[in-house]
């Protein structure tokens, strides 16, 4: 009898050791009624060093259970934080290679056993595709000159609008290219005025949500007329415009503000319709200004951002009801628990445990 009791005690110790070890792995030990995992809005974004993969998670479970999420290529499951909130977002850097990245969520009960798994989240990450989809380019040209019926009533002023339809809302845009004057349009006594013909320069402009500016670099030219020497002005920056240049003026080199211009500013920035409003003024020989431009816009990403921040600090789990805090475990409880999980532990030691329980108890 003593030998049998000693054998039973040894078996119980072995069962405790191996069943504890078994419970630590991530195999699903059973399915509890009411456990559910929903993963939505999986997204991928290049952050400059790696792809950041995010997903929204909604889950349900019994009191005291928790969830853990992971992204392939990111932190391993044992290092990710426990989530007690039933709705949370999880993000992690997955890697710097193009390809398909996955993710999943495990639900653990109060005994640290896995009771439900959803590992079917997938998202495709392609930097080249992301760049091409998030950048808009367009080459265009237009001419700025005096316009009929200008609203201020001056025949030597002009204005107009160049509209460009983008595929999505922009984050920032750059406008660069060159310009050239055409002084053959305006004639005096039937002859064109060539005083400001074929003057050239380059331009670079930038616009984003904070404002806009332009850097204009006029080339070597007789900017004050044929009787004055040619000069190559220094590049000039102008805020609040995306195009801005001074045309010829016999007072061009005088120590005073220049008078004649062709300029433009962006209006309606932030929408998919970009409007370039140009303005022109010249009271002298009225040279038209031809612009040859390349527009490049960084568009807002099309991916769906996650709705919540990742929970880093583990919250205090819900405490079981007072009536459930203490209870006695006997054979009937073990049988009830086995019925609740409706699954037989996998592997050799799980089967051995069941056989020994049936044999001795």
Which pLDDT does position 293 carry in this prediction? 96
Which pLDDT does position 355 carry in this prediction? 59
The three-state DSSP-derived secondary structure of 286-345 is: CCEEEEEEEEEEEECCCCCCCCCCECCCCCCCCCCCHHHCCCCCCHHHHHHHHHHHCCCC
Which pLDDT does position 81 carry in this prediction? 94
Among 69-83, 120-134, 202-216, the range scoring the smallest mean pLDDT is 120-134
pLDDT band at 303 (very low <50, low <70, confident <90, very high): low
**pLDDT at residue 38 is higher than 60:** yes
Report the pLDDT averaged over residues 53-62.
Answer: 91
Which comes out higher in pLDDT, residue 128 or 104?
A: 104
Contact between 114 and 23 (Cβ < 8 Å) = no
The three-state DSSP-derived secondary structure of the chain is: CHHHHHHHHHHHHHHHHHHHHHHCCCCECCCCCCCEEEEEEEEEEECCCCEEEEEEEEEECCCCCEEEEEECCCCCHHHCCCECCCEEEEEEEEECCCEEEEEEEEEECCCCCEEEEEEEEEEEECHHHHHHHHEEEEEEEEEECCCCCCCCCCCCEEEEEEEEECCCCEEEEEEEEEEEEECCCCEECCEECCCCCCCEEEEEEEEECCEEEEEEEECCECCCCCCCCCECCCCEEEECCCEEEECCCCCCCCCCCCCCEEEEEEECECECEEEEEEEEECCCCCCEEEEEEEEEEEECCCCCCCCCCECCCCCCCCCCCHHHCCCCCCHHHHHHHHHHHCCCCCCHHHHHHHHHHHHHC
Summarised one tens digit per residue, pLDDT across range 106-139 is 999 999 999 999 988 888 888 766 666 788 999 9
Summarised one tens digit per residue, pLDDT across range 144-188 is 998 875 544 456 899 999 999 998 899 999 999 999 999 887 766
Summarised one tens digit per residue, pLDDT across range 246-279 is 999 888 877 677 889 999 999 989 899 999 999 9
**pLDDT at residue 348 is higher than 90:** no
Q: From 2.60.40.10, 2.60.40.2550, 2.130.10.10, 3.30.1330.30, which CATH number describes the 2-129+308-360 domain?
A: 2.60.40.2550
Which comes out higher in pLDDT, residue 249 or 16?
A: 249
Among 201-205, 217-221, 223-227, 258-262, the range scoring the smallest mean pLDDT is 223-227
Which comes out higher in pLDDT, residue 347 or 68?
A: 68
Query: What pairs with residue 181 in β-bridges?
Result: 289
Which pLDDT does position 353 carry in this prediction? 59
pLDDT band at 344 (very low <50, low <70, confident <90, very high): very low
Which pLDDT does position 6 carry in this prediction? 58
Instruction: Give the residue from 105, 111, 89, 83 showing the smallest Cα distance to 36.
Output: 105
Report the greatest alpha carbon distance in the chain: 132
**Mean of per-residue pLDDT scores for the chain:** 78
**pLDDT at residue 296 is higher than 80:** yes
Which pLDDT does position 313 carry in this prediction? 41
**pLDDT at residue 60 is higher than 80:** yes
Which pLDDT does position 171 carry in this prediction? 92
Share of residues in the chain with pLDDT > 90 (%)? 44
With tokens 């120590």, the residue in question is 255
Report the pLDDT averaged over residues 28-56.
Answer: 76
Which comes out higher in pLDDT, residue 196 or 127?
A: 196
Report the pLDDT averaged over residues 12-37.
Answer: 50
**pLDDT at residue 207 is higher than 90:** yes
Measured distance CA(138)–CA(147) in Å, rounded: 26
**pLDDT at residue 236 is higher than 70:** yes
Domain residue extents for the chain: 2-129+308-360, 137-299
């Amino acid at each position: 009898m003593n030998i049998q009791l000693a054998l039973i005690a040894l078996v119980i110790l072995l069962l405790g050791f191996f069943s504890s070890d078994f419970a630590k792995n991530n195999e699903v030990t059973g399915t509890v009624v009411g456990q559910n995992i929903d993963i939505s809005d999986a997204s991928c974004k290049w952050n400059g060093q790696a792809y950041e993969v995010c997903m929204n998670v909604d889950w349900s479970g019994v009191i005291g259970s928790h969830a853990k999420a992971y992204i392939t290529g990111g932190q391993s499951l044992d290092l990710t934080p426990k989530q007690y909130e039933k709705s949370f977002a999880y993000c992690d850097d997955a890697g710097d290679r193009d390809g398909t990245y996955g993710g999943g969520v495990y639900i653990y009960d109060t005994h640290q056993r896995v009771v439900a798994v959803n590992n079917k989240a997938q998202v495709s990450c392609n930097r080249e595709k992301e760049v091409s989809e998030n950048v808009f380019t367009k080459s265009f040209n237009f001419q700025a000159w005096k316009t009929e019926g200008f609203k201020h009533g001056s025949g030597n002023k002009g204005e107009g609008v160049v509209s460009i339809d983008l595929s999505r809302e922009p984050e920032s845009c750059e406008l660069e290219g060159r310009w050239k004057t055409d002084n053959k349009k305006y004639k005096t006594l039937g002859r064109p005025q060539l005083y400001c013909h074929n003057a050239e320069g380059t331009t670079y402009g930038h616009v984003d949500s904070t404002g806009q500016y332009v850097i204009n670099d006029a080339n070597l030219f007789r900017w004050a007329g044929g009787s004055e020497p040619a000069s190559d002005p220094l590049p000039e920056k102008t805020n609040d415009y995306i195009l801005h240049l001074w045309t010829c003026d016999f007072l061009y080199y005088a120590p005073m503000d220049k008078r004649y211009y062709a300029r433009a500013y962006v209006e309606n920035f932030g929408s998919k319709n970009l409007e370039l409003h140009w303005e022109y003024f010249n009271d002298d020989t009225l040279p038209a200004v031809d612009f040859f431009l390349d527009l490049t816009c960084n568009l807002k990403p099309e991916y769906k951002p996650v709705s919540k921040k990742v929970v880093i600090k583990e919250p205090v789990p819900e405490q079981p009801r007072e009536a459930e805090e203490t209870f006695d475990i006997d054979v009937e409880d073990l049988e009830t628990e086995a019925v609740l999980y409706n699954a037989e532990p996998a592997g050799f030691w799980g089967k051995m445990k069941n056989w020994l329980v049936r044999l001795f108890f």
